[in-house]
């Protein structure tokens, strides 16, 4: 089908663009020159036919006047090329291994017929160096997936494709996935069959499905061209399997029995009498995938499904703290922790189940030799069930609920070739859809007003406990007998219901109330009542992409591309609190206050409650690019491109909230193949990247949240009934909403000028945007080289340097009274230091594809990641609020924040190797080994910030606490296969993770104090920890009375004083997390 000339011209003129983002199939290239073996001159008009099991039909091209050919839009696979021309001997070359997004160069010399001999067939592997690009990263294909143990199941038991990213160098795991090249995981672009599956609200990967559905994954960590945008990290591009002309498939089953899983060391704590434990009971997944022809060479199908189940056992038991014989203090162990003993008969056990059902269906249709269409849908509905709560004060609904999460990705793609394949078109439409909600077992729904139901009853947080006389009167906690019905023996060992104690003792420097079985205390509140906070979401991404590629010859070969993509994000969110309110007891037990109740004032002290807050923030983004890949004499390739992006974010009510304009991103790269045979390259690349902002910002900052607060007196008197939902939970919606019970707090505090006497509006307003804000971007330089040292094996080295340009964050210039969105260090944010994140990495790697019975992947990366900006989430707290986390809120928060960032791993070694042994013709043994060794993360000294609270103040410069230990991990996979016949094979496997059960510490307590320590500046040249008297001993500046040279804010006096060592947290640097213990997964696989 030839496109009309008119349309072709219009397309080029208007720049109607067709993106060549790498897609499901058809993004690889084989290119090269054909020369006469005798004269070494280029041979034009040679007919080249490419065939492959991965290809529908065959691809035919003809060499041009310079003898060059280019086979484009090829699906990844193994190819055979046949070259034919009159007066030349036919030539064939097979086993050309082509990976996704790769360009393989194959130069051929054909022999004139005058020379003796028949068809020349060359076996052996073709060169594997990708001479068309400057990207860093690697491809992970089926060989890797089948032979190496590295996919650990996620919480829903799905061996999801995201783990594939871990294999590449310069990739470090973080709280939300895998970060590339110093960036964090939410900054990456995740593509499945060309559709972006980033969670539209938070940027993390939103899709999951088993690796059995994956044909290949391309992990791109840097150096990528203008066709990829909206990412300041990298790209994980996944291609799902397609059908072929033959029926092939797999049926599999895996089980990870919990009984074989190791146990992590216990982490000591004495903050609560509730002892909880979660352990894996078992994890099972099984499934089938099959593909084949519906009409040979015309219509193929691929389908797959895979249910997975994870059962974990949650246990809660109670213990009591031991009090010494004379009742004056606790009993302590040698570490100063309170001794405790378990209470018999209080252990409760339940099973929490997570079920997922992953599916895929795909059709590939060859319209004719020049045009094809494919349609795919992949998804994974998941439900996680908690059958009931251990807390028996959760009224009639018993705390049981099911959390549902459903993701699906639909992709429709068209590829076409015109003008003898000199003009290629690629058009696709995609839809990513994700929903999340929670359904209690009683079937109630958000907004319900029915008393006694999960959603109809407010949650009430009991917090009565105060051991600090500066804050208020010493107040006793509740006894566990006040809130739970225990077996008689256990009940007798605890304080009877109604007991109150105000004896205060010091536990490792912190005041605690002497109480054997406190139900409330420093560890948190005790919830009674309804479901509490809920947030039901539906996320959508609609995408359209198009690209046109035009081959032109002018002083060499040009591959000229233009592309456009349009993206619409929607975040439909319904949130609120069950029963329209969440109440919280104060620490002295005299009141119940609104914890976070949605609603708005309509008059003085008069509110309208909002049981369900609903909004739909959206974003529209458009990207376009032009790019040329100019190949000069097969020696040097110059890639030059320019990408343009624009994004507009809209509030929940549909109004424009923020516009991020003029994101012009140049990408320039140079590749030099000194062998001129596709076996080497030296390359350099400069790229600028822009962030695609997730729309959580549009919900939280650009829309705002309207909540209010009233205080209700608990006790009754002549003028009020009092509000006591502990006596009767129904009071939470009745008496507690009676204005007679509201304390006129503003007037009581002597304020006659507040409009409201009792109530207070406490929600976040809309955050305004600096009119001169710049979109967030970063720059990158990559240089490197590769050389094919053995057949199918490449040795390479690269150096990557990345740094941030502008960062978008919310800031306040008036101590948190008013915030605005701007760029730290620029414009309205000039008072703030610039946000910096500097990444330098040198990587040495060797990679060999599976051939001759073995494969290997080795990389060593030395890197440095320093600055004051981690990225879209805060590792210190796990807060994921892209572009509006608390990092840059106040200037005073930023002292001492420069240093090694959380994802800094100076040394990272990754070794993956697999070898196949043939025992007999039918029986084979495969052994795969993995070793990963990495430096530990930096340790910080954190304290409380006077206005922002715990762990927000860096007392010493970032990273001054040294490093976590180096962590080693060995994984192994053993597979025994039995070949039934040519096409059918059965395999038994065992994957062992953490083979030697190393228990390296992976996190430690970084809180040096809960007091308001102020940032400390050490004298130049001195170690900060020693200068601050926090390490070392007998320092001259460290008096024997424990006074520290660190200043502290005393909230009681408002003055600055010197801190004291008695305020230090004795738990500092003690472990809070360990490496995941050994676990084993058994599998069986039937391949046909």
Binding to other proteins by residue 14, rule CB under 8 A? yes
Binding to other proteins by residue 768, rule CB under 8 A? yes
Q: Which is nearer to other proteins, 748 or 789 (CB)?
A: 748
Residues 316-345 that bind other proteins (CB under 8 A): none
Tokens 């566990």 locate to 480
**Integer distance in angstroms from the first to the last C-alpha of the chain?**
37
List the structure tokens of 678: 């596709």
Binding to other proteins by residue 385, rule CB under 8 A? no
Binding to other proteins by residue 600, rule CB under 8 A? yes
Binding to other proteins by residue 753, rule CB under 8 A? yes
Tokens 């594809």 locate to 849
Binding to other proteins by residue 988, rule CB under 8 A? no
DSSP collapsed to 3 states, 562-589: EEEEEEEEEEEEEEEEHHHCEEEECCCC
Binding to other proteins by residue 656, rule CB under 8 A? yes
**Rounded Cα gap, residues 561 and 626, in angstroms:** 6
DSSP letter assigned to residue 492:
H
Mark the segment that binds other proteins (CB under 8 A) among 395-403, 500-508, 655-663, 858-866: 655-663
Binding other proteins by CB under 8 A: which of 641, 657, 784, 796?
Answer: 657
Residues 153-172 that bind other proteins (CB under 8 A): none
Q: 314 near 385, Cβ under 8 Å?
A: no
Backbone φ and ψ for 371, nearest 5 degrees, come out as -140, 135
Q: Which is nearer to other proteins, 767 or 868 (CB)?
A: 767
Q: Which is nearer to other proteins, 336 or 765 (CB)?
A: 765
List the structure tokens of 469: 């006389």
**Rounded Cα gap, residues 74 and 72, in angstroms:** 5
Mark the segment that binds other proteins (CB under 8 A) among 148-156, 451-459, 691-699, 770-778: 770-778
Binding to other proteins by residue 815, rule CB under 8 A? yes
**Rounded Cα gap, residues 1012 and 1063, in angstroms:** 10
Binding other proteins by CB under 8 A: which of 5, 65, 717, 817?
Answer: 817
Residues 658-677 that bind other proteins (CB under 8 A): 658-659, 661-662
**Rounded Cα gap, residues 1020 and 1023, in angstroms:** 9
Backbone φ and ψ for 34, nearest 5 degrees, come out as -115, 125
Mark the segment that binds other proteins (CB under 8 A) among 257-265, 305-313, 465-473, 644-652: 644-652
Binding other proteins by CB under 8 A: which of 391, 754, 999, 1043?
Answer: 754
Q: Least distance in Å: CB of 21 to other proteins?
A: 17
Binding string, residues 908-947; x marks residues near other proteins by CB under 8 A = --------------------------------------xx
Binding other proteins by CB under 8 A: which of 872, 1014, 1064, 1080?
Answer: 1014
Mark the segment that binds other proteins (CB under 8 A) among 408-416, 692-700, 769-777, 998-1006: 769-777
Q: 939 near 951, Cβ under 8 Å?
A: no
Binding other proteins by CB under 8 A: which of 1, 325, 554, 749?
Answer: 749
Binding string, residues 1035-1064; x marks residues near other proteins by CB under 8 A = ------------x-x-----xx--------
Q: Which is nearer to other proteins, 12 or 284 (CB)?
A: 12
Q: Least distance in Å: CB of 1018 to other proteins?
A: 15
Q: Which is nearer to other proteins, 497 or 622 (CB)?
A: 622
Q: Which is nearer to other proteins, 322 or 831 (CB)?
A: 831
Beta bridge partners of 93: 81, 122
Binding to other proteins by residue 750, rule CB under 8 A? yes
Q: 93 near 640, Cβ under 8 Å?
A: no
Q: Which is nearer to other proteins, 625 or 908 (CB)?
A: 625
**Rounded Cα gap, residues 1070 and 1073, in angstroms:** 9
Binding other proteins by CB under 8 A: which of 103, 746, 863, 1007?
Answer: 746
Binding to other proteins by residue 612, rule CB under 8 A? no
**Rounded Cα gap, residues 958 and 981, in angstroms:** 61
Binding to other proteins by residue 10, rule CB under 8 A? yes
Binding other proteins by CB under 8 A: which of 353, 540, 770, 838?
Answer: 770
Residues 47-106 that bind other proteins (CB under 8 A): none
Q: Least distance in Å: CB of 511 to other proteins?
A: 23
Binding to other proteins by residue 472, rule CB under 8 A? no
Q: Which is nearer to other proteins, 527 or 1014 (CB)?
A: 1014
DSSP string spanning 15-33?
A: T--------SS--EEEEEE
**Rounded Cα gap, residues 293 and 312, in angstroms:** 41
**Rounded Cα gap, residues 989 and 149, in angstroms:** 10
List the structure tokens of 266: 């216990």
Listed residue (393, 352, 450) closest to 728, CA to CA: 393
Binding other proteins by CB under 8 A: which of 385, 648, 677, 999?
Answer: 648
488 to 275, 346, 481, 746: CA distances (angstroms): 20, 10, 10, 47
Q: Least distance in Å: CB of 746 to other proteins?
A: 6
Q: 70 near 105, Cβ under 8 Å?
A: no
* Residues ≥6 apart with Cβ < 8 Å to 889: 810, 811, 812, 816, 819, 948
Size of interface with other proteins, in residues (CB under 8 A) = 71
* Residues ≥6 apart with Cβ < 8 Å to 1076: 152, 264, 993, 994
List the structure tokens of 287: 């499934």
List the structure tokens of 755: 């409009």
**Rounded Cα gap, residues 460 and 584, in angstroms:** 6
Binding other proteins by CB under 8 A: which of 755, 919, 923, 980?
Answer: 755
Q: Which is nearer to other proteins, 498 or 603 (CB)?
A: 603
Binding other proteins by CB under 8 A: which of 564, 807, 955, 1044?
Answer: 564
**Rounded Cα gap, residues 85 and 65, in angstroms:** 14
**Rounded Cα gap, residues 560 and 552, in angstroms:** 7
* Exposure string over 170-179, b if 16+ CB within 10 A, otherwise e: bbbbbbbbbb
Q: Which is nearer to other proteins, 711 or 837 (CB)?
A: 711
How many secondary structure helices (H) and strands (E) does the chain include? Answer: 7, 63
Binding to other proteins by residue 739, rule CB under 8 A? no
Binding other proteins by CB under 8 A: which of 173, 271, 272, 761?
Answer: 761
Q: Least distance in Å: CB of 427 to other proteins?
A: 11
Q: Least distance in Å: CB of 689 to other proteins?
A: 19
Residues 891-910 that bind other proteins (CB under 8 A): 891-892
Q: 227 near 547, Cβ under 8 Å?
A: yes
Binding to other proteins by residue 769, rule CB under 8 A? yes
* Exposure string over 328-346, b if 16+ CB within 10 A, otherwise e: eebeeeeeebbebeebeeb
**Rounded Cα gap, residues 200 and 187, in angstroms:** 12
Mark the segment that binds other proteins (CB under 8 A) among 268-276, 486-494, 704-712, 927-935: 704-712
List the structure tokens of 347: 């252990």
Q: Least distance in Å: CB of 651 to other proteins?
A: 9
Binding to other proteins by residue 1021, rule CB under 8 A? no
Residues 841-900 that bind other proteins (CB under 8 A): 891-892
Q: Least distance in Å: CB of 16 to other proteins?
A: 5
Phi-psi region of 733 (alpha: psi -120 to 50; beta: other; left: phi over 0): alpha
Binding to other proteins by residue 1, rule CB under 8 A? no
Binding other proteins by CB under 8 A: which of 92, 255, 451, 622?
Answer: 622
Cβ atoms < 10 Å from Cβ of 473 = 11
Binding to other proteins by residue 744, rule CB under 8 A? no
Binding other proteins by CB under 8 A: which of 756, 859, 1006, 1007?
Answer: 756
Length of the chain: 1088
């Amino acid at each position: 089908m030839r496109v009309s000339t008119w349309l072709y011209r219009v397309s080029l003129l208007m720049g109607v663009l067709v993106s060549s983002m790498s897609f499901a199939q058809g993004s690889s290239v084989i290119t090269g020159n054909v020369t006469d073996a005798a004269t070494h001159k280029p041979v034009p008009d040679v007919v080249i036919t490419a065939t492959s099991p991965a290809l529908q039909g065959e691809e035919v091209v003809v060499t041009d006047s310079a003898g060059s050919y280019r086979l484009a839009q090829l699906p990844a696979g193994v190819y055979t090329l046949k070259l034919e021309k009159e007066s030349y001997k036919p030539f064939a070359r097979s086993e050309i291994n082509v990976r996704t997004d790769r360009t393989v160069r194959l130069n051929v010399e054909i022999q004139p017929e005058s020379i003796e001999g028949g068809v020349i067939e060359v076996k052996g592997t073709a060169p594997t160096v990708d001479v068309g690009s400057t990207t860093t990263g690697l491809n992970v294909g089926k060989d890797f997936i089948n032979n190496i143990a590295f996919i650990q199941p996620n919480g829903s038991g799905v061996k999801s494709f995201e783990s594939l990213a871990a294999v590449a160098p310069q990739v470090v795991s973080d709280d939300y996935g895998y970060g590339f090249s110093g960036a964090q995981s939410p900054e990456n672009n995740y593509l499945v069959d060309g559709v972006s599956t980033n969670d539209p609200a938070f940027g993390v990967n939103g899709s999951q499905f088993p690796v059995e559905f994956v044909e290949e994954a391309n992990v791109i960590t840097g150096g990528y061209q203008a066709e990829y945008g909206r990412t300041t990290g990298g790209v994980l591009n996944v291609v799902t399997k397609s059908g072929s002309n033959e029926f092939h498939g797999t049926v599999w089953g895996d089980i990870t029995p919990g009984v074989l899983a190791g146990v992590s060391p216990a982490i000591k704590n004495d903050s609560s009498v509730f002892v909880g434990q979660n352990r894996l009971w078992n994890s099972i997944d099984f499934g089938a995938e099959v593909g084949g022809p519906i009409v040979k060479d015309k219509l193929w199908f691929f389908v797959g499904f895979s249910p997975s189940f994870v059962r974990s056992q949650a246990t809660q038991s109670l213990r009591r703290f031991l009090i010494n014989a004379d009742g004056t203090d606790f009993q302590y162990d040698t570490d100063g922790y309170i001794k405790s003993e378990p209470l018999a008969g209080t252990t409760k056990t339940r099973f929490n189940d997570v079920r997922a059902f992953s599916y895929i269906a795909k059709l590939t249709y060859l319209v004719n030799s020049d045009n094809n269409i494919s349609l795919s849908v992949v998804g994974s509905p998941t439900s996680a069930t908690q059958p009931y709560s251990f807390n028996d004060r959760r009224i009639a609904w018993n705390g049981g609920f099911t959390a549902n999460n459903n993701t699906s990705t639909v992709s429709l793609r068209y590829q076409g070739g015109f003008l003898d394949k000199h003009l290629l078109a690629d058009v696709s439409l995609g839809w990513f859809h994700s929903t999340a909600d929670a359904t209690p077992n009683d079937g109630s729904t958000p907004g319900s007003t029915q008393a006694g139901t999960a959603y109809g009853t407010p949650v009430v947080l009991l917090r009565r406990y105060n051991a600090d006389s500066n804050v208020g009167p010493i107040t006793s906690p509740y006894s566990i007998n006040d809130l739970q019905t225990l077996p008689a023996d256990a009940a007798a060992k605890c304080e009877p219901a109604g007991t109150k104690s105000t004896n205060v003792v010091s536990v490792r420097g912190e005041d605690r109330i002497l109480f054997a079985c406190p139900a409330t205390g420093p560890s948190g509140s005790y919830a009674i009542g309804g479901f509490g906070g809920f947030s039901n979401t539906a996320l959508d991404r609609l995408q359209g992409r198009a690209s046109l590629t035009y081959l032109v010859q002018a002083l060499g070969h040009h591959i000229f591309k233009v592309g456009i993509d349009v993206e619409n994000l929607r975040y439909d969110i319904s949130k609120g609190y069950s029963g329209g309110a969440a109440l919280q007891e104060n620490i002295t037990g005299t009141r119940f206050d609104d914890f976070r109740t949605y609603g708005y004032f309509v008059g003085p002290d008069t509110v309208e409650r909002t049981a369900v807050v609903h909004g739909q923030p959206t974003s529209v983004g458009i990207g376009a690019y032009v790019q040329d890949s100019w190949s000069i004499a097969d020696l040097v390739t110059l890639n030059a491109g320019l990408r343009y992006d624009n994004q507009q974010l809209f509030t929940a009510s549909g109004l424009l909230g923020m516009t991020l304009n003029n994101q012009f991103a140049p990408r320039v790269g140079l590749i030099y193949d000194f062998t001129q045979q596709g076996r080497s390259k030296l390359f350099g690349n400069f790229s600028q990247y822009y962030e695609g902002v997730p729309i959580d910002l549009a919900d939280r900052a650009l829309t705002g949240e309207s909540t209010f607060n009233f205080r209700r007196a608990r006790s009754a008197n002549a003028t009020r009934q009092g509000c006591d939902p502990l006596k009767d939970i129904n009071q939470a919606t009745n008496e507690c909403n009676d204005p007679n019970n509201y304390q006129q707090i503003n007037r009581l505090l002597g304020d006659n000028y507040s409009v409201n006497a009792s109530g207070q509006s406490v929600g976040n307003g809309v955050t305004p945007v600096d009119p001169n804000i710049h979109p967030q971007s970063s720059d990158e330089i990559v240089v490197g080289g590769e050389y094919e040292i053995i057949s199918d094996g490449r040795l390479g080295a690269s150096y990557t340097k990345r740094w941030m340009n502008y960062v978008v964050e919310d800031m306040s210039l008036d101590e948190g009274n008013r915030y605005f969105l701007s760029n730290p260090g620029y414009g309205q944010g000039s008072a703030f230091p610039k946000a910096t994140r500097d990444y330098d990495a040198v990587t040495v790697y060797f990679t060999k594809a599976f051939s001759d019975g073995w494969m290997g992947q080795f990389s060593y990366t030395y890197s440095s990641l320093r600055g004051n900006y981690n990225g879209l989430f805060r590792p210190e707290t796990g807060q994921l609020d892209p572009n509006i986390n608390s990092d840059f809120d106040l200037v005073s928060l930023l002292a001492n924040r420069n240093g090694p960032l959380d994802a800094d791993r100076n040394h990272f070694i990754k070794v993956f190797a697999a070898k196949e042994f043939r025992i007999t013709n039918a029986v084979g043994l495969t052994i795969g080994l993995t070793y990963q060794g990495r430096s530990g993360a930096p340790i910080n000294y954190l304290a409380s910030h006077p206005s922002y609270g715990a762990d927000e103040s860096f007392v010493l410069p970032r990273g001054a606490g040294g490093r976590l230990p180096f962590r080693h991990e060995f994984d192994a996979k053993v597979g025994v296969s039995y070949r039934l016949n040519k096409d059918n094979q059965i395999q038994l496997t065992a994957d062992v993770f953490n083979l030697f059960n190393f228990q390296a510490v992976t996190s430690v307590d970084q809180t040096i104090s809960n007091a308001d320590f102020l940032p400390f500046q050490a004298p130049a040249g001195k170690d900060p920890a020693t200068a601050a008297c926090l390490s070392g001993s007998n320092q001259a500046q460290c008096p024997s009375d424990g006074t520290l040279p660190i200043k502290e804010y005393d909230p009681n006096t408002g003055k600055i004083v010197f801190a004291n060592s008695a305020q230090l947290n004795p738990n500092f640097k003690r472990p809070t997390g360990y490496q995941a213990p050994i676990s084993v997964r058994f599998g069986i696989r039937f391949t046909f």
